[in-house]
Amino acid sequence: MPEDFVIRAALAGIGLALATGPLGAFVVWRRMAFFGDATAHAAILGVVLATAASLPLYLGTLAVALAMALSVTALGRRGHGADTALGVLAHAALAFGLVAVSFMPGLRNDLSAYLFGDVLTVTRGDLVWIWAGALLVLAGLVWRWQALLTTTLNAELARAAGLDPRREELVLTLALALVVAVAIKIVGALMIAAMLIIPAATARSFARTPEGMAAGAVLAGMLAVLAGLAVSMRLDTPAGPSIVAVAAGLFALSLFALSLFELGLGRAGDPRPGTGTALGTALSGREQTSEGASDGQPPA
């Protein structure tokens, strides 16, 4: 029978995978990898502010991650380059956070836990927060699923259908900030983006529909969590990096399996599994452009 702390760690990781799976699919489709990474890095400043103000850790990380995401969105709408705004704000927040840590000796000793995660120390209270946040993100994505797909594919098509692309972008921004706050204790600020991107990229190789890709990403994330915890316990390695390392291994295996399929089973002219066009497949009846579906990623 596993120890209680291992069961709590597994439940925390599974809860995280429920949120990062479908959200990670949108991160891949919309090419938001840098956006997620930058938001996660800024969360370190939230840890410092929450500790200094004696507030719950999750509240501080959520506030800073949300402020970061909304600031980047606002700057982008005013004509500033998204990459530039992300680079400036993310690294500035990370730098201010690390400088502030130097004035807090107690926090300095725990810094690695926030950078790389420490899922084995998750408490029952943490589980409540993690699952509440994950279910809230999942519910929001399910609620706005079709609208998010349409705006991801083509903003003009979305407007013609009466949708507001900015509102859907705000939904993803809020979801991303909440996932960052949930995940920081599990995989750490430096590896949150990996749990968004790698499982989704793994599922993308074989999925034929957006829903299939999201479900596959959830399964890949859960498998990475459970296998990563097993590796961590067996080899005495850090749990967070072990989870991400296993996720990366699953991605490599998916590419290898896809290559074997193309060599052994694929016939000339037949589409390979997934073909990287999950989004375009589901919306083929909505007048999608060939450019938006050609490589599986909608136009930026």
Report percent pLDDT > 70 for the chain: 83
Residue 244 has pLDDT above 90, yes or no: yes
DSSP, residue by residue, 235-300: HT--HHHHHHHHHHHHHHHHHHHHHHHHHHTPPTTPPPSSTT-HHHHHTGGGT--HHHHSSSS---
Residue 296 has pLDDT above 50, yes or no: no
Contact 295, 276 (CB under 8 A): yes
* pLDDT at 231 (0 to 100): 94
Contact 207, 254 (CB under 8 A): no
Q: Which range scores top for mean pLDDT: 73-77, 79-83, 260-264?
A: 260-264
Mean pLDDT, all residues of the chain: 81
- Residue at 156: amino acid letter: E
The domain spans of the chain are: 4-266+274-282
Contact 187, 17 (CB under 8 A): no
pLDDT tens digits for range 204-237: 988 889 999 999 999 999 999 999 999 999 999 9
* pLDDT at 81 (0 to 100): 62
Q: Which CATH class is domain 4-266+274-282?
A: mainly alpha
CA distance linking residue 44 with residue 111, whole number of Å: 9
Of 43-52, 172-181, 258-267, 273-282, the one with minimum mean pLDDT is: 273-282
Looking from the CA of 86 toward its CB, the CA atoms found within 13 Å total: 15
Contact 189, 206 (CB under 8 A): no
Contact 249, 198 (CB under 8 A): no
Which of these, 215, 227, 214, 180, lies nearest to 16 by C-alpha position? 180
